[in-house]
């Protein structure tokens, strides 16, 4: 009986972790852009944004599972990209924290997370989310990829990397907050 009661809101914990991580990523990125310990805030913001994307992908997976969708292409493509992008972003963020080419790691993570947003944006329509959520992810993903590539090319890597990470965090924050509001209490 308790298991059946927990099923309707099974994605709620994922949503709250995604919202908290995304907000933390935006705050850390803003602090880094303001010059507050930028060598530490960039890798931390990267890990937080990647974690937010990972849990956003998990939330969508739960939503699709709850709907018992017959069409598995949304689960196999969109959710996989967000989850895998989140895992890769966490790995790159940890490398940056460890001091292994931190500027390059953050820039690469920015491009990777942006790509995951772009490729995963289609999964929102399959999970009965609004079309606006899909457009927010797509737009922020394109911005993050462009900023990440420019940072990889050496154009203000700290500023562009942190800006791209902030775009990823803002995207997940908006999409997850919208999903939480739509789901209700």
Average pLDDT over residues 49-56: 94
Ranges of each domain in the chain? 10-183
Other C-beta atoms within 10 Å of 135: how many? 12
What distance lies between CA 162 and its chain's CA centroid? 14
The helix, strand and coil proportions of the chain, stated in percent and rounded to the nearest 5, come to 85, 0, 15
pLDDT 10s digits, 140-153? 999 999 999 999 99
Q: Tell me the average pLDDT across 107-115.
A: 97
- For the stretch 114-127, pLDDT in tens is 999 999 887 755 55
Q: Identify the DSSP state of 76.
A: I
pTM comes to 0.83
- Number of Cβ within 10 Å of residue 9's Cβ equals 14
């Amino acid at each position: 009986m308790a298991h059946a009661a927990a099923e309707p809101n099974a994605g709620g914990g994922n949503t709250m972790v995604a919202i908290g991580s995304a907000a933390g990523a935006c705050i850390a990125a803003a602090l880094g852009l303001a010059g507050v310990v930028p060598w530490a805030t960039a890798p931390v913001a990267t890990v937080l944004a990647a974690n937010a994307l990972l849990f956003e992908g998990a939330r969508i997976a739960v939503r699709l599972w709850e709907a018992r969708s017959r069409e598995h292409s949304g689960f196999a493509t969109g959710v996989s990209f967000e989850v895998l992008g989140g895992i890769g972003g966490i790995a790159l963020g940890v490398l940056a924290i460890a001091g292994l080419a931190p500027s390059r790691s953050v820039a690469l993570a920015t491009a990777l997370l942006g790509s995951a947003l772009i490729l995963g944006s289609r999964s929102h329509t399959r999970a009965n989310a609004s079309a606006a959520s899909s457009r927010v992810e797509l737009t922020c993903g394109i911005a993050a990829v462009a900023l990440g590539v420019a940072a990889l090319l050496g154009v203000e890597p700290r500023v562009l990397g942190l800006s791209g990470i902030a775009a990823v965090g803002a995207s997940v924050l908006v999409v997850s907050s919208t999903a939480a509001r739509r789901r209700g209490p």
